């Protein structure tokens, strides 16, 4: 089987009714855009790219987590030596956005700082967004780092959620 890897802006995909499934894990581009409208453009473009009978599988940040836990403490607990370090500056309860800085070291030992503006979503928001795009069946599960399963019920301790939507 031959796989073509293509690079496109997820807010402006050139596909129309072409795919049976779309998979976007580790948030992909969603929810890393600067505005909710930009994030919605990603969902719209992926939906337009899918055939009528199709699935959309993706992960996104779980807004239930920061309501009960510290994002900074979670990131500190998952960072091994030699990995990127994360510094959260604010989680805004009005916008559900976290503004943070991640420090990475490239293969040559150069340190770089990456600023991020990440949007967390509650399950009801994701459900509403996907229903507005024509998805009929939407299931949301907890997403453990590196382990995705329909067996994991979403809880407030899950940093990410796994969404499986069908048209």
Q: Does the pLDDT at position 71 exceed 60?
A: no
Tell me, what's the pLDDT at 167? 94
Q: What is the pLDDT of residues 114-162, one digit of tens each?
A: 888 899 999 999 999 999 999 999 999 999 877 788 889 999 999 899 9
pLDDT for the residue 134: 97
pLDDT score at 96: 92
Q: Is the pLDDT of residue 65 over 60?
A: yes
Structure-token pair, residue 128: 């509403």
Residue 34, pLDDT > 60, answer yes
Per-residue tokens: 92: 């805004």
Burial zone of 74 (CB within 10 Å; 0-12 exposed, 13-18 middle, 19+ buried): middle
By the 8 A CB rule, do 140 and 163 touch? yes
Above 90 in pLDDT, residue 77? no
Class in CATH terms, 21-166: alpha beta
Q: Which of 43-47, 63-67, 146-150 has the lowest mean pLDDT?
A: 146-150
Residue-wise pLDDT tens digits, 85-101: 545 557 888 899 988 77
> What confidence score (pLDDT) does residue 106 get?
85
């Amino acid at each position: 089987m031959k796989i073509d890897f293509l690079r496109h802006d997820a807010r402006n995909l050139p596909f129309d009714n072409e795919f049976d499934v779309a998979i976007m894990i580790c948030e992909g581009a969603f929810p890393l855009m600067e505005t909710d409208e930009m994030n919605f453009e990603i969902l719209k473009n992926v939906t337009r790219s899918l055939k009528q009978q199709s699935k959309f599988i993706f992960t996104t940040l779980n807004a239930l987590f920061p309501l009960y836990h510290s994002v900074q403490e979670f990131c500190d607990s998952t960072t091994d030596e030699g990995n990127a370090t994360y510094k959260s500056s604010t989680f805004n309860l009005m916008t559900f956005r976290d503004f943070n800085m991640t420090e990475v070291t490239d293969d040559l030992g150069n340190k770089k700082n990456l600023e991020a503006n990440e949007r967390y979503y509650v399950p009801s928001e994701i459900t509403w967004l996907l229903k507005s795009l024509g998805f009929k069946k939407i299931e949301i599960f907890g997403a453990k780092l590196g382990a995705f399963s329909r067996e994991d019920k979403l809880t407030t301790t899950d940093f990410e959620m796994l969404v499986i939507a069908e048209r």
